[in-house]
């Protein structure tokens, strides 16, 4: 019924060509069309950060993006980050600090944490907290997450 | 469900204005307002969905004679780290620092914040007290026409503006600050991040020998649009900024706003906030 549009973009380093409904959001596209389910649906309205992905080097809530707007862009999801050796220190830090409980927020947290460390390698606990403001966690109470990111930041150097 | 018949992602302003001229277009910038509003059914798509994200020349901050010019597609994150904004309009950067979350700031554009026309839009109050003008472009008969209007006059109601359907907001222009220029912004929300303003206050003027002139006061989230506060301004204009003048201005502010009760606060509470915070901000200006 509704209008479809062809798009082409880079997803985790690989060129993708898809036809999507013009009103579809990027989160539904990743999960339901591409089948990458590491990116989570929490709220669908920009409040929780579970759907965080990297678009042209900046993190965005994929639930707020129109999938057609991905045309020509470079997208990295948690699956792409997991394959990046540069993210090993961050993943190890999350494990070591017990920063994962149910794990639902974790992909978004790790995407955003990687972005914080990329853009501000000297981030202190305060900068990390500010950077993670858009990511909700119902389990950990955040402290372990902030500790993990902080140790990945300074431990990585 | 949706009646979208055409999707367009023009690369040039000329092309975008041509599409707008054909009528019945929904404009998409960052999508952080449009996506939730259309999904919830509060806003219906028009037959053409036009993504302006790829239109060249609508992004970035430049000096244009005696003005700072900010392109409509400039994101809140870009404003937050822009050196020209930090130098000439730090109060705008301050408002951007209190805006949503990093992910939303990376997506949300200044043009989107203005055209969404929420009474609580965080860039609007600081832009109004900085005497900002909006620049609107259209292509009514084959060639591009632009007009300008003070931002303070742009809003007509929640989600409504004086932009004509064939116009695109291309940029805003902020006059460079005069010597002695002061500006302050305050946002009250119940938590620091991801919170819609309960109220916001902007104050600007030129401070010389303890006296405030060119006074601008504006409030957010106390009326259907962000509003200037003429009686509060009059209570301050040309006066020595002493305790008496500050108290009189804070009283005028409380009397002049007419907020509503809603989920975020009662009208009474908003009026008290406006009074107390206007006073505190003026105290800080006087002491600086
Ligand atoms: C979780 C969440 C938190 C938020 N927090 C805040 C906050 O703290 N403070 C705040 O102020 N806002 C907040 N917002 C609202 C929103 O992020 C901002 O208003 C943002 O600046 C909108 O920009 P956009 O580019 O995403 O707009 P879009 O959604 O793309 O567009 C918004 C509207 O403007 C129109 N439009 C866009 N660009 C133009 C143009 N150049 N010319 C004409 N019309 C145009 C569109 O048609 C649409 O009607 C929040 C939103 C969410 C989802
Ligand atoms: S699902 Fe996107 S922010 Fe919650
Ligand atoms: S670990 Fe459960 S939500 Fe964060």
Using only C-alpha atoms, chain A has a radius of gyration, in whole angstroms, of 16
Point out the domain boundary residue: B153, B174, B195: B174
Claim to verify: residue B165 and residue B87 sit in the same structural domain: yes
Claim to verify: residue A72 and residue A89 sit in the same structural domain: no
Q: What is the DSSP letter of A142?
A: S
Claim to verify: residue B154 and residue B220 sit in the same structural domain: no
**Edge-to-edge strand list for the sheet holding B199-208:** B181-188, B199-208, B211-220, B227-228
pLDDT, tens only, A7-50: 999 999 999 999 999 999 999 999 999 999 999 999 999 999 99
Whether residue B220 contacts residue B280, with contact meaning beta carbons closer than 8 Å, is answered with no
Q: What is the pLDDT of residue B135?
A: 98
Among candidate residues A32, A72, A81, the one with its CA nearest the CA of residue A53: A81
The CA-CA-CA angle for residues B284, B285, B286, to 5°, reads 90
Write down the H helix ranges in B44-183.
Answer: 76-80, 83-88, 90-97, 102-107, 110-116, 124-129
CA of residue B227 to ligand 1 center, whole Å: 19
Query: What phi and psi values does residue A9 have, to the nearest 5 degrees?
Result: -150, 170
CA B94 to chain CA mean position, Å: 13
Claim to verify: residue B147 and residue B80 sit in the same structural domain: yes
- pLDDT tier at B194 (50, 70, 90 boundaries)? confident
Work out how many domains chain A is built from and give that number. 2
Claim to verify: residue B123 and residue B65 sit in the same structural domain: yes
The CA-CA-CA angle for residues A60, A37, B108, to 5°, reads 10
pLDDT, tens only, B55-114: 999 999 999 999 999 999 999 999 999 999 999 999 999 999 989 999 999 999 999 999
Is B1 part of a structural domain of the chain?
Answer: no
Cα separation, B235 vs B215, in Å, equals: 10
Percent of chain B with pLDDT over 90: 91
Q: What is the pLDDT of residue A2?
A: 84
Ligand 3 site residues, Cβ closer than 6 angstroms: A 100-105, 137-140
Cα separation, B272 vs B248, in Å, equals: 14
Is B56 part of a structural domain of the chain?
Answer: no
Claim to verify: residue B191 and residue B154 sit in the same structural domain: no
Other CB atoms within a 10 A radius of the CB of residue B161 amount to 21
- Ligand 1 pocket member B72 (CB < 6 A): yes
pLDDT, tens only, A110-137: 999 999 999 998 899 999 999 999 999 9
Any idea what the CATH number is for the domain that residue A47 is in?
A: 3.10.20.30
Claim to verify: residue A134 and residue A75 sit in the same structural domain: no
* Contact residues on chain B for A137, CB-CB shorter than 8 A: none
pLDDT at A68 over 70: yes
Claim to verify: residue A72 and residue A48 sit in the same structural domain: yes
**ipTM confidence score:** 0.96
Task: Flag if B194 and A59 touch (Cβ within 8 Å).
Answer: no
Q: What is the pLDDT of residue A157?
A: 44
Point out the domain boundary residue: A23, A57, A80: A80
pLDDT, tens only, B235-257: 999 999 999 999 999 999 999 99
CA B30 to chain CA mean position, Å: 16
Residue nearest to atom 19 of ligand 1 (CA): B113
pLDDT, tens only, B113-127: 999 999 999 999 999
Residue A56 Ramachandran class (φ > 0 left, ψ -120 to 50 alpha, else beta)? left
Task: Flag if B35 and A133 touch (Cβ within 8 Å).
Answer: no
Q: What is the pLDDT of residue B262?
A: 85
Atom of ligand 2 at shortest range from CA of B103: 3
Q: Which range marks the domain in which residue B198 is found?
A: 181-287
Task: Flag if A66 and B31 touch (Cβ within 8 Å).
Answer: yes
Q: Which range marks the domain in which residue A136 is found?
A: 84-155
pLDDT, tens only, B40-50: 999 999 999 99
Whether residue B202 contacts residue B213, with contact meaning beta carbons closer than 8 Å, is answered with no
Claim to verify: residue A60 and residue A106 sit in the same structural domain: no
Using only C-alpha atoms, chain B has a radius of gyration, in whole angstroms, of 19
Claim to verify: residue B45 and residue B67 sit in the same structural domain: no
Q: What is the pLDDT of residue B193?
A: 67
Claim to verify: residue A112 and residue A97 sit in the same structural domain: yes
Burial of A1 (0-12, 13-18, 19+ CB in 10 A): exposed
Claim to verify: residue B31 and residue B120 sit in the same structural domain: no
Average pLDDT over residues B279-287: 95
Mean pLDDT (chain B) is: 95
Q: What is the pLDDT of residue A6?
A: 98
Cα separation, B114 vs A92, in Å, equals: 43
pLDDT at B2 over 70: no
pLDDT at A154 over 70: no
Q: Which of A83-87, B65-69, B226-230 has the lowest mean pLDDT?
A: A83-87
Claim to verify: residue B186 and residue B280 sit in the same structural domain: yes
Per the model's pLDDT, the better-predicted residue between A85 and A34 turns out to be A34
Among candidate residues B211, B218, B256, B261, the one with its CA nearest the CA of residue B238: B211
Proportion of chain B in helix, strand, coil states, percent, rounded to 5? 35, 25, 40
pLDDT at A99 over 90: yes
Claim to verify: residue A69 and residue A102 sit in the same structural domain: no
CA of residue B112 to ligand 1 center, whole Å: 4
Work out how many domains chain B is built from and give that number. 3
Claim to verify: residue A90 and residue A143 sit in the same structural domain: yes
Claim to verify: residue A32 and residue A47 sit in the same structural domain: yes
Which residue of B9, B51, B102 is in closest CB contact with A133?
A: B102
Does residue A123 sit in helix, strand or coil?
A: coil
Claim to verify: residue B185 and residue B278 sit in the same structural domain: yes
Give the ligand with the smallest distance to the CA of A141: 3
Residue nearest to atom 4 of ligand 3 (CA): A137
Beta strands in B122-210 (DSSP E): 133-138, 145-150, 155-157, 160-161, 168-175, 181-188, 199-208
Claim to verify: residue A122 and residue A72 sit in the same structural domain: no
Any idea what the CATH number is for the domain that residue A102 is in?
A: 1.10.150.120
Q: What is the DSSP letter of B66?
A: T
Residue of B9, B10, B21, B27 to mutate, ligand 1, most atoms within 8 A of C-beta: B27
Claim to verify: residue A70 and residue A88 sit in the same structural domain: no
Claim to verify: residue B273 and residue B199 sit in the same structural domain: yes
* Contact residues on chain B for A112, CB-CB shorter than 8 A: 102-103
Task: Flag if A133 and B53 touch (Cβ within 8 Å).
Answer: no
Point out the domain boundary residue: A26, A49, A80: A80
Is B280 part of a structural domain of the chain?
Answer: yes
Claim to verify: residue B261 and residue B189 sit in the same structural domain: yes
- pLDDT tier at A86 (50, 70, 90 boundaries)? confident
Half-sphere exposure of A94 (CA within 13 A, CB side): 20
Any idea what the CATH number is for the domain that residue B103 is in?
A: 3.30.465.10
Which residue of A2, A59, A71 is in closest CB contact with B106?
A: A59
Claim to verify: residue B101 and residue B11 sit in the same structural domain: no
Point out the domain boundary residue: A80, A102, A121: A80
Any idea what the CATH number is for the domain that residue B257 is in?
A: 3.30.390.50
Whether residue B219 contacts residue B257, with contact meaning beta carbons closer than 8 Å, is answered with yes
Q: In Å, how far are A41, B104, B168, B226 from B98, measured between CA atoms?
A: 25, 12, 27, 17
Whether residue A9 contacts residue A75, with contact meaning beta carbons closer than 8 Å, is answered with yes
pLDDT, tens only, B127-176: 999 999 999 999 999 999 999 999 999 999 999 999 999 999 999 999 99
């Amino acid at each position: 019924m509704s209008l479809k549009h062809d798009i082409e973009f880079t997803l985790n380093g690989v060129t993708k060509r898809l036809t999507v409904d013009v009103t579809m959001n990027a989160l539904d596209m990743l999960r339901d069309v591409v089948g990458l389910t590491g990116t989570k649906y929490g709220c669908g309205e920009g409040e929780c950060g579970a759907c965080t992905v990297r678009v042209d080097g900046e993190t965005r809530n994929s639930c707020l993006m129109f999938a057609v707007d991905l045309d020509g862009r470079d997208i990295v999801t948690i699956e792409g980050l997991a394959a990046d050796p540069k993210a090993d220190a961050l993943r190890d830090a999350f494990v070591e600090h017990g920063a994962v409980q149910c794990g639902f927020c974790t992909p978004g947290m790790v995407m955003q944490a990687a972005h914080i460390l990329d853009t501000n390698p000297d981030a202190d606990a305060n900068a990390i907290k500010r950077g993670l403001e858009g990511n909700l966690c119902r389990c950990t109470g955040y402290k372990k997450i902030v500790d993990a990111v902080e140790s990945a930041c300074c431990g990585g150097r | 469900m949706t009646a979208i018949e055409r999707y367009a992602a023009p690369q040039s302003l000329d092309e975008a204005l041509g599409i707008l001229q054909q009528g019945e277009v929904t404009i998409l910038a960052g999508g952080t307002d449009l996506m939730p509003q259309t999904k919830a059914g509060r806003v219906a798509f028009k037959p053409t969905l036009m993504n302006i994200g790829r239109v060249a020349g609508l992004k970035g901050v430049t000096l244009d004679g005696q003005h700072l010019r900010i392109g409509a597609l400039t994101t809140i994150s870009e404003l937050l780290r822009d050196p020209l904004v930090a130098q000439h309009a730090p109060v705008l950067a301050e408002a951007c620092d209190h805006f949503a979350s990093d992910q939303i700031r990376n997506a949300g554009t200044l043009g989107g914040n203005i055209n969404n026309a929420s009474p609580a839009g965080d860039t609007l109050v600081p832009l109004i007290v900085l005497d900002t003008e909006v620049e609107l472009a259209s292509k009514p008969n084959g060639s591009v026409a632009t007009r300008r209007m003070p931002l303070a006059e742009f809003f007509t109601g929640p989600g409504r503006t004086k932009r004509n359907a064939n116009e695109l907001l291309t940029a805003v222009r902020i006059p460079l600050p005069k010597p002695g220029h002061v500006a302050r912004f305050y946002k009250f929300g119940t938590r620091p991040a991801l919170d819609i303003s309960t109220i916001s206050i902007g104050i600007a003027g030129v401070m010389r020998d303890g006296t405030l002139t060119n006074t601008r006061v504006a409030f957010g989230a106390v009326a259907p649009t962000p509003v200037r506060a003429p009686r509060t301004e009059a209570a301050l204009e040309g006066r020595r900024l002493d305790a008496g003048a500050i108290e009189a201005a804070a009283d005028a502010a409380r009397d002049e706003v007419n907020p509503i009760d809603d989920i975020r606060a009662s009208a009474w509470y908003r009026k008290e906030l406006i009074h107390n915070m206007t006073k505190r901000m003026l105290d800080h200006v006087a002491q600086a």
